[in-house]
Structure 1
Amino acid sequence: MNDLCQNLVIWGASGHALVVADIIRLINQYKIVGFLDDINLHLHGKNFCGVTILGGREKFDQLHDDGVKYSLIAIGNCQTRLELSNLVEQNGFRLATAVHPQAIVAGDIVIGSGTVICAGAVINPSAKIGKNVIINTTASVDHECVIEDGVHIGPGVHIGGRTTIKQGAWIGIGATVSDRITIGANSIIGAGAVVVRDIPPGVVAYGVPAKVIRNIDSSVQY
């Protein structure tokens, strides 16, 4: 462990949190002091990924007292991730950024805080990656793309050049998005879809080629 590592708490204690914790340990910039989970209260105090699930947001003051300055939201749901990232920042934590050592990221890339880039991902020159983005395992983002805050690009997704993915959109596993496409805010692209036309905000679209199937019910959590 690097003696200069900053203490960090991860919010989330499920499968994606396992991936995030692995990246954090590999980059050797932060020390994971524990996990937070507001949903699964029965897990509080139990071991997860080698450390303890400390509790929920009621632990903020104690974490500050213990010198924890950084947090990372390890939750796949885009809206929840954005909401919780705002919460931890409002409570005085900084958002860490985690880029797997085996991701390929061009030298001029701008990456926002809170973003996680997983193993095997490729991000090509002049792309802009917002805050609290997930670029999942082996996904690729080509040149000059704009990936806005809170986007989740699933495993094996391929995004063509000069494409814009608006805030909070979720691109399902194995989807392909052609070049110069815009995908609207908060939309969901289904697994394996091939997107060759712009997708409006707030819809579910899937198929080959992808078609809008329905509007998203904002009361449903994905």
Structure 2
Amino acid sequence: MMVLGIYGYGGHGLEVEELARTINFKENRWEKIIFIDDTPSKVDNQKVFSFETILSTYSESEIEFMVGLGEPVLREKIFYKIKVRGYKLARLIHPLAVVAEDVEIKEGTMVSAHSFISVKVHLSENVLIQPMAAIHHECRVGKHSVIGTSVSMGGNSCIGDNSFMGLNSSLKQGITVGNRSVVGMGAVVIKNVADKTTVAGNPAVMIKEGDVRAF
């Protein structure tokens, strides 16, 4: 039986742990669930370990990882830090999520409770879907992107890589949000959003350009 290592001991990491415990109660997938963190003051070598300690303790067949950070830029960094060492990431889907049978969910992706993922949706690597998000037919979500709580994506809409949709925001059907972009809380997006752009409001308008971070 494998170990699950959650990379990032903080608020979102604890949410990942809670979801993993729910899965483990039903499926008994992991022998134990631990944390990895790069901040020395958080490491106690009981529940929280350094990455170097994990590498020297577990082989690639003994542990799988999940990113415990909610910022796309940091999610990408940790994802490749794990992958370059030859380790794999888990897929976590909450038992209370509704996921169509033909949905494609890549490595490292997490789907939280009460989310709705409709038919022919593609979730790329290391995507985070927060609770109560609704992703309708034939949508695509790019690598390392975050879909916040209660977000709604209309059918055939697309989120690029490393992008962030704030809670309660929504996309009109067929809309594309580019790479490394941010949709602010409560925004209603009715026009395509370019790469490296932050939009907010109803209807959403551009408020910032450049290589932005969600927070």
TM-score for both structures, normalised by structure 1: 0.89
Q: Quick check: 1:164–1:183 contact (8 Å CA) kept in 2?
A: yes
Matched with 2:163 is 169
Q: Aligned partners of 2:150 and 2:159: how far apart in 1?
A: 16
| Worse overlay, 168-177 or 20-29 | 20-29
Letter in 1 for 2:40: L
Matching of residue 80 in structure 1 with residue 80 in structure 2: no
Q: Aligned partners of 2:204 and 2:157: how far apart in 1?
A: 16
Matched with 1:54 is 49
Matching of residue 198 in structure 1 with residue 192 in structure 2: yes
- State the 1:66 CA deviation: 9.8
Matching of residue 209 in structure 1 with residue 208 in structure 2: no
Q: How does 1:115-194 map to 2 (within 5 A)?
A: 115-194=109-188
Corresponding pairs, count = 211
- State the 1:65 CA deviation: 5.3
Q: Aligned partners of 2:9 and 2:168: how far apart in 1?
A: 25
- State the 1:140 CA deviation: 0.7
Q: Aligned partners of 1:172 and 1:98: how far apart in 2?
A: 21
Q: Aligned partners of 1:66 and 1:43: how far apart in 2?
A: 24
TM-score for both structures, normalised by structure 2: 0.92
Q: Aligned partners of 1:170 and 1:104: how far apart in 2?
A: 22
Q: Which runs of 4+ in 1 moved over 6 A?
A: none
| Worse overlay, 134-143 or 62-71 | 62-71
> What residue ranges of structure 1 are gaps of 5+ in the alignment?
none
Q: Given the alignment, which residue of 85, 101, 106 partners 1:107?
A: 101
- State the 1:24 CA deviation: 1.3
Matched with 1:37 is 37
1:10-39 per-position Cα deviation (integer Å, ceiling 9, x unaligned): 10111111111112122222244421111x
- Aligned-residue Cα RMSD (Å) equals 1.8
1:65-105 per-position Cα deviation (integer Å, ceiling 9, x unaligned): 59632111111011111121111111121110000000000
- State the 1:64 CA deviation: 2.1
Identity %: 27
Q: Aligned partners of 1:103 and 1:80: how far apart in 2?
A: 25
Matching of residue 24 in structure 1 with residue 16 in structure 2: no
Matched with 1:69 is 63
